Amino acid sequence: MDPNLLYWKSQGQSLLSRLQIWVNLLDPTSLLSSDAEIQNAHSLLGSGQKPNEKDGHALTLSLSSVHADSGAVLPLVFRSAALFPISAPLVVASFLPHSGVKPALFWQFLLQSYSAGFNYANRNSSSEQRKTASLKQLLLIAGTVSYATCAGALPQIFINRLGVRSAPIQTFFRSILPIPLSAALAFFNVYTVRSEESETGIQLFNSNGNPVGLSKAAGDKAVRETALSRAVLFGTTAAVPNLLVLLLKRTRLFQRNSLLAAPVRHISVAFVLGLMIPVSFSLFPQLGTIRKENVEQQLQAAADGGQFYYHRGL
């Protein structure tokens, strides 16, 4: 079992402990470290020595920048610490009340493309070691991005194609519909990009950290948990700012100064996104568990306890 997973096994089994860990791991200054520094940090964590306060930076680098299946350094833009600085402007722009369909499609394309890349880079790759992405996987990612881009721009498409002029209906399309739509598309993006894990299975570990085989049941559970956590992230990020602006528009201050709505929306979207990223990452353990009776029958005999462990991915 990778040193990163061993750490999550000992430290990340409660929601509060995971949240505290992720708040530290999302420090963007870790993005300034070189690949050599990251590899050295991972080697230190795998040396069997328990990290002390002096090794805290090395621990952060290893957990935030190294893939727990391959041991390879993650691409800079797809590391957990890069999610907020890169996705925040894309999310803010995608929630703007665009005047036409093309700008809505453009920003949705950038957001869905980055989300697909992040989901793929941080998947469980235990069944794909030393393999490159297949043509089927590349086509699936391209199809996911295309479909999610068009679906994400549906509110603007409806407004333009139907010639909506009614303020209440425009409010519905711009402020209410994007909430369930954002959550559904985030779930869809993860579930389709990482669908191969459900089809081929992911590596299971016993309580001693030894691999026992690939499980499709564990793969489906890992993908489903990650998809739910991402739906919570983007659904909440869409809900809170939109509902806040709708409430503030009823006040005299905003009725007299309608231009205040735009900056409040932008700032609140970025603020909620920043708060929700560590929360969504913490909803489920990085080293998940599955009861032995829920996995394939041929694997159940390898259990030295009542459950198996698996890497959930991110």
- Which parts of the chain have pLDDT scores under 70? 47-55, 129-133
Q: What are phi and psi of 206, to 5 degrees?
A: -85, -175
Domain count, the chain: 1
Q: What is the pLDDT of residue 57?
A: 83
Q: How far apart, in Å, are the Cα atoms of 66 and each of 44, 58, 63?
A: 13, 11, 6
pLDDT for residue 131: 60
Q: What is the 3-state secondary structure (H, E, C) of 181-228?
A: HHHHHHHHHHHHHCHHHHHHCEEEECCCCCEEEEEHHHHHHHHHHHHH
Q: How far apart are CA 75 and CA 66, in angstroms?
A: 9
Q: Which two tokens stand for residue 297?
A: 């029958």
pTM: 0.92
The pLDDT of residue 109 is 97
Cβ distance 182 to 272 under 8 Å?
Answer: no
Helix, strand, coil % (nearest 5) of the chain? 70, 5, 25
In degrees and rounded to multiples of 5, residue 108 shows phi and psi of: -65, -40
pLDDT in tens, 97-113: 888 899 999 999 999 99
Give dist(CA 194, CA 204) in Å, integer. 17
Q: Which two tokens stand for residue 278?
A: 């560590």
Task: Give the pLDDT confidence score for residue 48 in this predicted structure.
Answer: 56
Domain that holds residue 27: 3-311
pLDDT in tens, 177-191: 999 999 999 999 999
**DSSP H or E run through 288:** strand 287-291
Name all contacts of 267-270 with Cβ < 8 Å and 24+ positions apart.
268/240, 268/241, 268/244, 269/88, 269/91, 269/92, 269/95, 269/237, 269/241, 270/88, 270/91, 270/92
Structure tokens at 252: 């005299």
Q: Output the CA–CA distances (angstroms, integers) from residue 57 to 43, 99, 258, in the order listed.
A: 13, 46, 46
